Structure 1
Amino acid sequence: MQSTTSTTAHCDAKAQEAVARAIEIMWERYREPLSLSDIARAALLSQFHFSRVFRAVTGTSPFRFLAAVRLHQAKRLLLESGMSVTDIAFEVGYSSLGTFTSRFTSSVGVPPARYRRLARHGMPLPATGWEHAAATRGGMRGLIRMPSAPPSMRIYVGAFDSPIVQGAPVSCDILDGPGPYRLAAVPDGEWHVRAAAVPANPRSRALRLRPLAVGTPAAVLVRGGRCVDVDVDLRPAELLDTPILLALPELDRGGEASPARLVREFAAVFAA
């Protein structure tokens, strides 16, 4: 007889495989007006069951994940092509330039045209929120852990109101490598701590829009202005992770991209 633990692990593996199939379709067909039925069909699940499984695996809904994929591709086109903002909006599946501009701005932090200029001339660091630290004692603190960390790296960690790294974090800390962090002035409520590691001084521009590693612990509840302990383990980003939409200096920059070189340069970081 199969144990309960192994049965659960098998079900989790099957759920992840189904969700991965759906996410592959999103990346392949993001230009199209995909329906929930289209995406669920790729996962070989009913619409109702698919929505529930997708949220359990990714932490967000299929349509919010698809929206993140479209905006990620818009960032890529702004960096790599000379297409106009209008053409890019239609290319990634939007029928309205105004809607695209509004959603891009709220998710990435700057309007599309300004994002393109900043990517070429220098993206600012996100605000850490330490200027408001005296206003409240609430927040998170803990350790950022990463096996075989490279000698020169930068780690961004922030608290967001959704599992997707988009918009300005309610609080942010920036580290020069694994170690203790603190997110200050976090209001009471449920927050998602997200971390991304990138090379601090990359020798090439191969690393673009994709972090070296990510950390995605479970949602955190802050109450009574208290500081909650949350350790974050960094791991390689995978297909099931939503794209990082918030603009970060090391990830959002122009130049030639080489995914193959990226793999060669950083594959050893998580080697056994």
Structure 2
Amino acid sequence: MWDRYEEPLSLDEIANTAILSKFYFSRVFRNLTGTSPGRFLSAVRLQRAKSLLLETDLSVTEISYRVGYNSLGTFTSRFTRSVSLSPARYRTLARAGLVDRDRGPGTHPVDGARRTCPVHGTLRLPEELERSVRIYVGAFREPLVQGRPVACEILDGAGRFTLDVPEGTWFVRAAVVAASDFPAPPWQRRPLLVASGPELTVRHGYEHPPVRLAARPLTALDLPILLALPELDSTGATGDARPLRMPALTGS
């Protein structure tokens, strides 16, 4: 998928490459990645589209074809559903270092009637890692990281974090980026390590056990989490990143 995302890949073709039936392949793939082959391929295409939007001046139409979509409308609707912004607006805001917190589905702050619950946790880095890092921790509605997190926090090193999330089921994910990548804009930073927590069901009034994350190297089964979190750093005119802690949001 990573090598041939621009092609009209079918489940049969992908499964045949693995010399498995499509039913068995789908089951194994979901066990390894937490999602279906079709959704993973879609996420790969959208991730590549984000890179092209931010790193090139190609038109949205040309980008849609380059990442495997034959219909501009289909590409635009899927991109907007995933990112909560249209491709053109995503390009404009991300390049300007701005966050559109007030528009798009699933981007409105939780109102006072909806209670949030604190989820505490820790993130551990490999002992052999000898460099300064910045860590992004977010809670998402699905194991496949797309769109905005419902809550997030930025750490300047291993340690404790707290996410204030609404009641529901969430997936905690983290990306570790070298501090030397700054002040490069978010889309040019590449995660050194990632971390994943188990499915977490949050209920008000219940003391939830702490989430313990251990960072590990990226593999081909991981999607680049950082490009799903471009708004975690706000970049000013000088290019300096300003860490921020986001409140819980109602959508992904």
Query: Do the structures match in fold with TM over 0.5?
Result: yes
Give distance in 2, aligned partners of 1:252 and 1:96: 33
1:192 aligns with 171
Give distance in 1, aligned partners of 2:70 and 2:205: 43
Q: Kindly indicate whether the alpha-carbon contact (under 8 Å) linking 2:149 and 2:229 is maintained by their aligned counterparts in 1.
A: no
Which structure has greater strand proportion?
2
Give distance in 1, aligned partners of 2:119 and 2:6: 39
> How far off its partner does 1:226 sit?
2.6
In the superposition, relative to structure 1, how do residues 58 and 135 fare at CA in structure 2: closer, same or farther (>3 Å)? same
> How far off its partner does 1:251 sit?
9.3
> How far off its partner does 1:243 sit?
3.1
Give distance in 2, aligned partners of 1:95 and 1:161: 29
> How far off its partner does 1:95 sit?
2.2
Give distance in 1, aligned partners of 2:183 and 2:20: 42
Q: Percent identity?
A: 51
1:145 aligns with 124
Which TM-score applies when normalising by structure 1? 0.72
1:98 aligns with 2:73: yes
1:80-229 matches, within 5 Å, as 80-124=55-99, 135-148=114-127, 152-188=132-168, 190-200=169-179, 202=181, 205=184, 208=188, 210-228=190-208, 229=210
> How far off its partner does 1:135 sit?
5.0
In the superposition, relative to structure 1, how do residues 125 and 117 fare at CA in structure 2: closer, same or farther (>3 Å)? closer
Partner amino acid for 1:71? L
1:269 aligns with none
* Structure 1: segments with no counterpart, 5+ residues: 1-25, 254-272
Q: Could you report, residue by residue, the CA deviation over 1:155-197 in whole angstroms, capped at 9, with x for unpaired residues?
A: 2111111112112222222222211111113313x21111112
SS of residue matched to 1:138: strand
Cα RMSD after superposing both structures: 3.2
> How far off its partner does 1:152 sit?
3.9
Q: Kindly indicate whether the alpha-carbon contact (under 8 Å) linking 1:119 and 1:252 is maintained by their aligned counterparts in 2.
A: no
1:39 aligns with 14
**Aligned partner (choices 24, 36, 39) of residue 64 of structure 1:** 39
Q: Kindly indicate whether the alpha-carbon contact (under 8 Å) linking 1:197 and 1:211 is maintained by their aligned counterparts in 2.
A: yes
SS of residue matched to 2:161: strand
Q: Kindly indicate whether the alpha-carbon contact (under 8 Å) linking 2:153 and 2:163 is maintained by their aligned counterparts in 1.
A: yes
Q: Which runs of 4+ in 1 moved over 3 A?
A: 123-135, 148-152, 203-207, 249-253
> How far off its partner does 1:227 sit?
4.4
1:238 aligns with 2:219: yes
Q: Larger radius of gyration, structure 1 or 2? A: 1
Range with greater deviation from structure 2 (244-253 or 34-43): 244-253
> How far off its partner does 1:60 sit?
0.7
Partner amino acid for 1:116? R
Range with greater deviation from structure 2 (48-57 or 115-124): 115-124
> How far off its partner does 1:98 sit?
2.2
Q: Kindly indicate whether the alpha-carbon contact (under 8 Å) linking 2:117 and 2:204 is maintained by their aligned counterparts in 1.
A: yes
Q: Kindly indicate whether the alpha-carbon contact (under 8 Å) linking 2:99 and 2:234 is maintained by their aligned counterparts in 1.
A: no
1:50 aligns with 25
Q: Could you report, residue by residue, the CA deviation over 1:213-236 in whole angstroms, capped at 9, with x for unpaired residues?
A: 111122112234434221111111
Q: How many residues align?
A: 227
* Structure 2: segments with no counterpart, 5+ residues: 236-252
Q: Kindly indicate whether the alpha-carbon contact (under 8 Å) linking 1:125 and 1:248 is maintained by their aligned counterparts in 2.
A: no
Q: Kindly indicate whether the alpha-carbon contact (under 8 Å) linking 2:45 and 2:68 is maintained by their aligned counterparts in 1.
A: yes
SS of residue matched to 1:173: strand
In the superposition, relative to structure 1, how do residues 214 and 101 fare at CA in structure 2: closer, same or farther (>3 Å)? same
Which TM-score applies when normalising by structure 2? 0.77
Which structure has greater helix proportion?
1
